[in-house]
Amino acid sequence: MISIVTPSFNQIEWLRLAVASVADQEGVDYEHIIQDGGTDGVAEVLQSEFGNLGKRLRVFVEKDTGMFDAVNRGLRRARGEIYGQLNCDEQYLPGALAQVVAAFQRDPQMDVLLAGSIVVDENGRYICSRPALKPSLRHLQGGQMYNLTASIFFHARLIRERQLFLDPDLRYIGDLDWLRRVVEAGAKTVTSDFLTSVFSDVGTNMALSAGAAAEAARTRTSNSPWRKLSSAALVASHRVSRLLAGHYSLRPFDYTIYTLGNSPERQIFHVTKPTGVWRNRL
C-alpha cells in the first residue's frame, strides 16, 4: 500500500482537485489521509463527493500547529509501506502511483524516490517542467531545494524506524529541511525519469513566498562548508547540473489534470515547447 498525506485548511476547492487526482489512480493499493486543521464542513463535502472510496479516503479534522505538524499527524496514522505528501495545490498525473510502487518493488533498498513534476497556473495552463534531479547537499544546506514535494516518495522505514519526521516548528521550508536531513543521514535516494505530479503556482504558495526565503536563510546549516558560498554561485552550479541532466532540451508532451470549474473530469493540455525555466520565479 502507498499512503498519501494531504495537509489542508480552508482550501476546499483545491482540495477537491487533489483528492480527485488520487481517487482515479489505477493498478495500485492506496490510502489518502486528509489532515485538516479545522475547515468547516470539509469531511461532509468530501464524503458527499468521494464517499464510494470507503476506507481509501480517511479524513481527520483537528487543530494543528501548522502544515508540517499536520503532515506528521498523517504520517503517524499511515498504514502503507510507501509515503507521499500531496498538498492542496498539487495533483497526481494518471498512473503516477502505480509507477512509484513499481519502482520501489524493483529496488527494495531504495529509501527515497524523486520523480518529475509539471508547474501550471491557476487555470491548469503549462508554465514549466521540473524533471527529477539528484538532490545536492550543498544546495540543501544553502537553503535551496529543487524537487517539488509532490514528486518525492519515501519508504515507511524512514518514519517508523529512523523517526525522520518533519520539523513542526518550521512554517515554510519543512520539506527542504527534511530532505536535507534525509540526505545527511545517508538514505538511498534515487531519481526517476517519469512525471508524477502537477504543482499549481497561484502566486500565494507558502513555499514560494518571501517568508520561505527568509526562513531558509535563518535555518542554513551552521557547520555547512557551503554556508559562505554566494547565492549566485549556488544558482549557477545548480543550472549547470540541470543542463547536464537535459532539463533544457525537453520534448513535447500532453498532460491531463483537474481544473477549477471542470473538476468532474480531467482536462487535456498539449505542450508544444516545454521548458525547464520557471520564468516568473527566476
| HEC profile of 221-276 | CCCCCCCCCCHHHHHHHHHHHHHHCCCCCCCCEEEEECCCCCCCCCEEEEECCCCC
List, for residues 237-264, the tens digit of each pLDDT value: 767 777 767 777 789 999 999 999 876 8
Beta bridge partners of 17: none
Q: What is the pLDDT of residue 202?
A: 85
Q: Which three cell numbers stand for residue 160?
A: 517508523
Identify the band that residue 223 occupies on the pLDDT scale cut at 50, 70 and 90. very low
Residue 163 identity:
Q
- What is the model's pLDDT at position 242? 75
pLDDT tens column, 15-47: 999 999 999 999 999 999 999 999 999 999 998
Average pLDDT over residues 221-230: 53
The pTM for the full model equals: 0.90
- Which pLDDT score is estimated for 194? 94
Half-sphere exposure of 252 (CA within 13 A, CB side): 5
Q: Quick one: 2-202+209-281 is in which CATH superfamily?
A: Spore Coat Polysaccharide Biosynthesis Protein SpsA; Chain A (3.90.550.10)
Residue 130's SS3 state is: strand
Which sequence spans correspond to the domains of the chain? 2-202+209-281
